[in-house]
Amino acid sequence: MEPGSVPISSEEKMMRTQVGIVGAGPAGLMLAHLLHLQGIESVIIEARSRQYIEERVRAGVLEQGTVDILNRTGIGERMRKEGLLHHGIEIGFQEKRHRIDMTDLTGKAVVVYGQHEVVKDLVNARLGSGGKIVFNVEQVSIHRLNDEHPVIHFSENGTLEQLHCDYIAGCDGFHGICRQSIPEGALTVYDRIYPFAWLGILADAPPSQEELVYANHERGFALYSMRSPKVTRLYLQCDPAEDIANWSDDRIWSELLTRLIGVDGWQPNQGPILQKSVTPMRSFVVEPMQYGRLFLAGDSAHIVPPTGAKGMNLAIADVRVLAHGLAAYYKSGNSETLAAYSETCLRRVWKVQRFSWWMTSILHRFPDANSFDQRRQTAELDYVTSSEAGARSLAENYVGLPLNLANELAG
């Protein structure tokens, strides 16, 4: 047996691939799809079932760049039919709504299309092309990250397996094992916990208007959104320790109407609440986003507050950079682009963190804010909604900053 190799017992199976991907969320699935288009082999392992990942409802505002890459790589057909194209957003404060026309300001737009729908489309494409996804795995661990051939150990249906690969992509989320497998001290962690959370609901009610409304109110932030032509998605700022059991449907609707109704009388349509939950808010980044032959992508490397609608978009941007670097390596043996993965991603990550923090800071009521802070916040909202320069900056960030990858695959 060669030095540093992993012994294989008679009860273990061994597989070999070029890129081992841990996690079948948008990041892992999109990475596998991009690699497939370049002729690069990969295997995805996922701790949950296919049904679970396809039904796990998450936010779904897609930046222009995310829409473009889905279309260019053959994944966008259902999105084009069912997604809701949005050319602007509205910001409400002091009982008035102000529209930011993103398309007029930037020439771009966003599409509302649920994350679980993107996952369904990517899973179908993956399995339809003969790609491998191993669901319901257990006992996942990763080894030999500094060797030429790192190894992923896992159990499938009680059988221990080893996946030998050239590189590992850690796309397994904030609580996944990949980041935790990096030696202590190798990463610098930046973390911020916000003093509020979002109480979110899905309502069986058709949207009462076509664009999102972000509302700053003396009782706290509220957001009107949608998931489909028949289902509305709404959020309320609340305490992080809030017990969802204390929020009856009537109480939720009463609070939403209080915070969203303006002088023009507009209000969201009401209907049965299909789902409700409380989501804490935080900002989180680790640097670097790579260690040896392991590359972190998506929530395993960073978390943003949902105010700017950036979570999935940032994950997709990460794997576009990673796929670009891997393609260059396998095509020519040049590893410079791959070695720059973390630096390239982090430039965009921190810009997105800045925007998400800024959106959060101007729209939410902070517990320790005084009258000066509140007047300054109102002035910021007034500037953004009355200045073309201010509105353009918001719109540019909201529709998505450019990735600028030279010679990125076109599908």
CA proximity to 317, closest of 299, 293, 335, 332: 299
β-sheet bridge partners, residue 285: 190, 302
Q: Is 214 assigned a catalytic role?
A: yes
How many whole angstroms separate alpha carbon 162 and alpha carbon 242? 43
Let me know the angle formed at the C-alpha of 30 by 144 and 288, rounded to the nearest 5 degrees.
Answer: 45
State the pairing for strand pair 273-287/290-291.
unpaired
Three-state secondary structure string covering 36-50: HHCCCCEEEECCCCH
- Both tokens of 310, joined, read 């950036």
How many whole angstroms separate alpha carbon 199 and alpha carbon 150? 41
Write down how long the chain is.
411
Q: How far is CA 20 from CA 23, 38, 148, 223, 257, in A?
A: 10, 16, 13, 38, 48
* Catalytic, out of 217, 302, 310, 324: 310
CA proximity to 319, closest of 363, 293, 291, 289: 289
Question: Which DSSP state fits 243?
Answer: -
Q: Is 306 assigned a catalytic role?
A: yes
Q: Is 401 helix (H, G, I), strand (E, B) or coil?
A: coil
* Catalytic, out of 26, 150, 305, 306: 306
The widest CA-to-CA distance across the chain, in whole angstroms, is 77
Q: Is 10 helix (H, G, I), strand (E, B) or coil?
A: coil
- Contacts (Cβ under 8 Å, ≥6 apart) of 198: 223, 235, 236, 237, 238, 278, 279, 281, 306
Place of tokens 């915070």: 259
Angle between helices 388-399 and 341-363 (to 10 degrees): 130
| 8 A C-beta contact, residue 42 and residue 21 | yes
* Catalytic, out of 33, 86, 217, 364: 86
Q: How far is CA 212 from the centre of its chain?
A: 18
- H or E stretch including 315? helix 311-332
Q: Is 7 assigned a catalytic role?
A: no
Q: Is 167 assigned a catalytic role?
A: no
* Catalytic, out of 113, 167, 224, 398: 398
| 8 A C-beta contact, residue 327 and residue 410 | no
Q: Is 175 assigned a catalytic role?
A: no
* Catalytic, out of 113, 167, 194, 214: 214
Q: Is 281 helix (H, G, I), strand (E, B) or coil?
A: strand
Place of tokens 């060797």: 147
Q: Which residues are catalytic?
A: 86, 214, 306, 310, 398
